[in-house]
Amino acid sequence: MNDKRLVKAAERIESPRLLFVRPALSDAAEILSRYASDPEVTRFVAFRRHESLKETRDFLSWSDAEWERWPAGPYLVRSRADNLLLGSTGLSFETPSRAMTGYVFARDAWGHGYATEALRTMSAAAASAGVKRLYALCHTGHAGSWRVLEKGGFTREGILRRYMEFPNLVPGEPADVYCYALIL
Ligand SMILES: CC(C)(COP(=O)(O)OP(=O)(O)OC[C@H]1O[C@@H](n2cnc3c(N)ncnc32)[C@H](O)[C@@H]1OP(=O)(O)O)[C@@H](O)C(=O)NCCC(=O)NCCS
């Protein structure tokens, strides 16, 4: 992080049930097996489903570069109860005051309110790191995801037509997305 005006986020954050940690190379096998290679989990995400450890390691290199350059980057989400890897979230900075967030959870972690708890935690971390606009994009057909954003206080600003590719859904075809934002 070269710009000394930027405030570094904590690399480890706790919420009532969850632990958020900066990813490390030693997490690769767990990330791959818990969620990144699962076709159902990755249907509505922007990254291509991982088929090998190399792809997961590439993600970890990118994560390190993000953490070096910006106040934060991806976080892995673990259960505080037993340290099980549940999923991933994070802050993807575009400028010192604008960042994007998102979340992906292993199938056995759905339906417990974890994504909502993660989103609230990321919103607080973003505010502490000086973010003024935190936003998220989600496929218009993915009601579970935008429900989480609405529970987290995000406002739907509009629809971006043919904006983003979902490589595991319809490769090569940009889809419509909703843009949600939280002003901090
Ligand atoms: C989408 C996802 C993050 C939700 O995680 P979660 O921990 O189950 O979310 P929460 O429990 O915090 O909240 C989900 C909310 O959406 C609702 N929901 C879930 N599926 C839904 C659907 N198909 N239609 C409408 N609402 C739905 C739930 O009922 C819940 O709302 P409620 O608390 O009012 O009942 C999770 O399913 C996931 O990781 N999916 C795969 C990756 C992904 O698609 N990520 C998002 C990319 S934009």
pLDDT tens string 87-125: 999 999 999 999 999 999 999 999 999 999 999 999 999
Q: For residue 110, which amino acid is it?
A: W
Q: Are 165 and 172 in contact (CB under 8 A)?
A: yes
Q: What structural domains and CATH numbers belong to the chain?
A: 12-183 (3.40.630.30)
Mean pLDDT over the full length of the chain: 96
Of 51, 44, 53, nearest to 168 by C-alpha is: 44
- Rounded distance from Cα 143 to ligand 1 centre (Å): 7
Digit-coded pLDDT (tens) for 118-127? 999 999 999 9
**Cα 144 to averaged position of ligand 1 atoms, centre (Å):** 3
pLDDT category, 2, cuts 50, 70, 90? Answer: low
Give one DSSP letter per residue of the chain, joined into a string: ---TTSPPPPSEEE-SSEEEE---GGGHHHHIIIIIT-TTTTTTSSSPPP-SHHHHHHHHHHHHHHHHHSS--EEEEEETTT--EEEEEEEEEEETTEEEE--EE-GGGTTSSHHHHHHHHHHHHHHHTT-SEEEEEEETT-HHHHHHHHHTT-EEEEEEEEEEE-TTTSTT-EEEEEEEEEE-
Ligand 1 site: residues with CB under 6 angstroms?
A: 41, 44-45, 87, 102-105, 110-116, 138, 142-145, 147-148
Residue nearest to atom 33 of ligand 1 (CA): 113
Residue nearest ligand 1's atom 18 by CA: 144
Q: Whose CA is nearest to atom 37 of ligand 1?
A: 110
**How far is the centre of ligand 1, averaged over its atoms, from the C-alpha of 146 (Å)?**
8
Nearest CA to ligand 1 atom 47: 45
Considering the entire predicted model, what is its pTM?
A: 0.95
Ligand 1 atom with minimal separation from the 145 CA? 1
- Tell me the CA–centroid distance for residue 73 and ligand 1, in Å: 22
- Tell me what percent of the residues of the chain surpass a pLDDT of 90: 95
Centre of ligand 1 from the C-alpha of residue 44, in Å: 12
